[in-house]
């Protein structure tokens, strides 16, 4: 892992990607790393595209915003068009299988994964797509330890949904194995 990892999670308002960003950052903290999470606000976010950004680093993080992400995730076409504009050359793009990628992107790896479908059909609730996505991201990058990711997830989710979320996480890890 590089000294500083920058991630951008995008989708629509209700998909829980800001929570996913927070969880990821909190897992990093548990790993004794530093993390910063920011997000875009605006009336435009209303029902439209939403963006959460996370920076994870071994040392202090001064500048708080993502400049060139190492990893971008998109769950909706609108978000994908709006936010997958720049990515580091060795970066990874992850989008839901249903999306069309804009042209001319120079990422090292582009992954189209059935994130929404996995959540909907395999876990049974589309609402946990964000956790599936987390599993996929961490499965691919090991940006945080699996142990602490699970802890972080359990600390943020509503009581009574533990099993559901654990399953979603598992499915995400499994997805990762394909890429």
Partner 1 sequence: MNQPLVENYFRTDKLPHIWCPGCGHGIIMASIARAIDKLKLDKDKVCIVSGIGCSSRAPGYMDFNTLHTTHGRALAFATGVKLANPELEVIVIAGDGDLSAIGGNHLIHASRRNIGLTTICFNNNIYGMTGGQYSPTTPTHDKGTTAPYGNIDKPFDITKLAVGAGATFAAKGTVYHVNQLDKYIESAIKHKGFSLVEAISICPTYYGRKNKKGSVVDMMNFLKDSFVDHKVAEKLPPEKKQGKFLMGEFVNVEEPEYTELYDQIIEMFK
Partner 2 sequence: MSKTVKFLQGNEACVEGALMAGMRFYSGYPITPSTEIAELSAERLPRLGGKFIQMEDEIGGIAAAIGASLTGVKAMTATSGPGFSLKQENIGYAALAEIPLVIVNVQRGGPSTGLPTAPGQGDVMQAMWGTHGDHPVICLTPDSVKETFDLTVRAFNLAEKYRTPVILLTDEITGHMREKIEIPEVSEIEIFNRIRPEAGSDYKAYRVEEGDIVPKMADFGAGYRYHVTGLMHDETGFPSNSTQNAQKLMDRLMSKVSDHVDDIVDFEEFLMDDAEYMILAYGGTARTAKAVVKSLREEGVKVGLFRPITLWPFPEKKLLEYTGKIKDILVTELNYGQLKLEVERVVKSACSVRFYGKANGEIITPKELTDIFKEVL
Residues that bind partner 2 (CB under 8 A): 22, 25-26, 29-30, 34-44, 61-65, 67
Closest-CA residue to 132 (of 87, 53, 124): 124
Which H or E run includes 56?
Answer: strand 49-57
What's the min distance (Å) between Cβ of 83 and partner 1?
A: 18
Of 46 and 177, nearer to partner 1 (C-beta) is 46
d(CA 123, CA 117): 9
Residue 90 binds partner 1 (CB under 8 A): no
What's the min distance (Å) between Cβ of 95 and partner 1?
A: 23
Q: Which residues contact 136 (CB under 8 A, 6 or more apart)?
A: 94, 113, 115, 172, 173, 175, 176
Residue 100 binds partner 1 (CB under 8 A): no
What's the min distance (Å) between Cβ of 110 and partner 2?
A: 26
Closest-CA residue to 174 (of 125, 126, 130, 140): 140
Q: Which of 19, 29, 38, 48 binds partner 1 (CB under 8 A)?
A: 48
Structure tokens at 160: 């009574």
124 binds, among partner 1, partner 2, none (CB under 5 to 8 A by kind): none
What's the min distance (Å) between Cβ of 141 and partner 2?
A: 20
Structure tokens at 175: 């997805």
Structure tokens at 154: 């359990």
| CA-only gyration radius of the chain, Å | 15
46 binds, among partner 2, partner 1, none (CB under 5 to 8 A by kind): partner 1
**Residue 104 burial by Cβ neighbours in a 10 Å radius (0-12, 13-18, 19+):** exposed
What's the min distance (Å) between Cβ of 159 and partner 1?
A: 17
Of 26 and 96, nearer to partner 2 (C-beta) is 26
Q: Which of 1, 2, 47, 147 binds partner 1 (CB under 8 A)?
A: 47
Residues in contact with partner 1 by the rule CB under 8 A: 43-44, 46-48
């Amino acid at each position: 892992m590089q000294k500083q990892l920058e991630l951008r999670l995008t989708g629509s308002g209700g998909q829980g990607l800001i929570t996913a960003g927070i969880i990821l950052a909190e897992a990093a903290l548990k790993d004794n790393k530093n993390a910063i999470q920011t997000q875009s606000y605006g009336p435009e976010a209303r029902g439209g595209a939403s963006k959460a950004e996370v920076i994870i680093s071994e040392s202090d993080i001064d500048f708080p915003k993502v400049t060139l992400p190492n990893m971008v995730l998109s769950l909706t076409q609108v978000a994908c068009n709006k936010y997958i504009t720049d990515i580091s050359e060795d970066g990874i793009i992850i989008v839901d299988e249903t999306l069309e990628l804009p042209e001319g992107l120079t990422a090292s790896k582009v992954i189209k994964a059935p994130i929404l479908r996995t959540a909907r059909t395999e876990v049974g609730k589309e609402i946990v797509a964000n956790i599936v996505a987390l599993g996929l991201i961490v499965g691919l990058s090991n940006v945080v330890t699996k142990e602490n990711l699970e802890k972080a997830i359990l600390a943020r989710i509503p009581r009574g949904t533990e099993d559901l979320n654990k399953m979603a996480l598992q499915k995400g890890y499994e997805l990762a194995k394909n890429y």
